[in-house]
Amino acid sequence: MEAGPGAALRRLWHRAYYRCACLGWRLVLALGARARIEGLGNLPRGGPYILVCNHISHFDPPTLASLLWRKHAWVVALDMYGHPLAAWFFRGIESIPVDREGADRRAARQILRRLRRGEPVGIFPEAGIRSGGSSVLGGVPFDDTVGGLAQVAGVPVVPAVILGTDKLYCRSGWRRNTAVFVRVGEPIGPDLGRGEITRSAEAAVRSLAEAVRREHGLSEDDMPMTAQERWRREKEAAGGR
């Protein structure tokens, strides 16, 4: 780990930058969405862990980050770094780039390094935005890399689910004060086998989604859809008026 006044100043700058980015997104959300987080007490208050969540829109990472009190090292697809401004932003929040085309050992090493430094790491194990039958909520399994990383680092995996952010692809989603739900589940210990850790995380994410759907009376229209499906429905609704 880096030491000295220069390293301390860089860490302070990155933390401040991260907090400002989270505050900025909370202000944006407040313009047209009601974001709530449940189960926050399940998050460890200190030490490293791996937060895993389903991925339904581009709004998921900033929403999750802004609702959690601790700075997380978010794993971000390498292609998101394509634009210089985007690359500058992601470096500013100290995200971890990962190549989704295959096993990225460099990213795995960075994740383990952050965990050993005591930082929580946020991962969307679906390797992209997913909904319906192509998503973990539809039965698609996570990659066992999640369990492997937790096992090697000796840290718990904390499951979470997010619902509602896909509605923000539409203008109507912002006008209707859309409800966005995030629920955090209980940590899954690293003493299990890598496959068992991963399967337990999958089951927990699905169970959390079902609990949110049932307790808040969500309809099928509230469940995740692609941006294209949201746009199509909005267009049809506009044509019917």
pLDDT at 45: 87
**pLDDT per residue over 48-83, tens digit each?**
999 999 999 999 999 999 999 799 999 998 888 888
120 has a pLDDT exceeding 90: yes
DSSP H helices, 83-180, are 84-92, 105-116, 145-153, 171-175
- Residue 10 pLDDT grade (very low, low, confident, very high; cuts 50, 70, 90): confident
| HSE-CB of 207 using CA atoms within 13 angstroms | 10
Average pLDDT, the chain: 92
155 has a pLDDT exceeding 70: yes
Dihedral sign of CA atoms 126, 129, 130, 131 in order: positive
Angstrom distances, CA of residue 9 to CA of 13, 111, 116, 117: 6, 22, 21, 17
Sheet arrangement for strand 50-53: 33-38, 178-184, 157-163, 50-53, 121-123, 73-77, 96-98
pLDDT at 83: 87
What is the mean predicted confidence (pLDDT) over 170-195? 93
**pTM of the predicted model as reported, rounded to 2 decimal places:** 0.92
- Residue 78: CB atoms within 10 A of its CB come to 14
- Residue 11 pLDDT grade (very low, low, confident, very high; cuts 50, 70, 90): confident
18 has a pLDDT exceeding 80: yes
Domains in the chain: boundaries: 5-239
Q: What tokens were used for 153?
A: 């680092």
Q: How far apart are CA 47 and CA 236, in angstroms?
A: 49
- Domain 5-239 sits in CATH 3.20.20.140: no
What is the mean predicted confidence (pLDDT) over 185-208? 95
127 has a pLDDT exceeding 90: no
pLDDT at 241: 54
220 has a pLDDT exceeding 70: yes
Q: How far is CA 32 from the centre of its chain?
A: 20
Which of 6-10, 62-66, 124-128, 142-146 reaches the highest mean pLDDT?
62-66
pLDDT at 239: 76
- Residue 41 pLDDT grade (very low, low, confident, very high; cuts 50, 70, 90): very high
- Residue 7 pLDDT grade (very low, low, confident, very high; cuts 50, 70, 90): confident
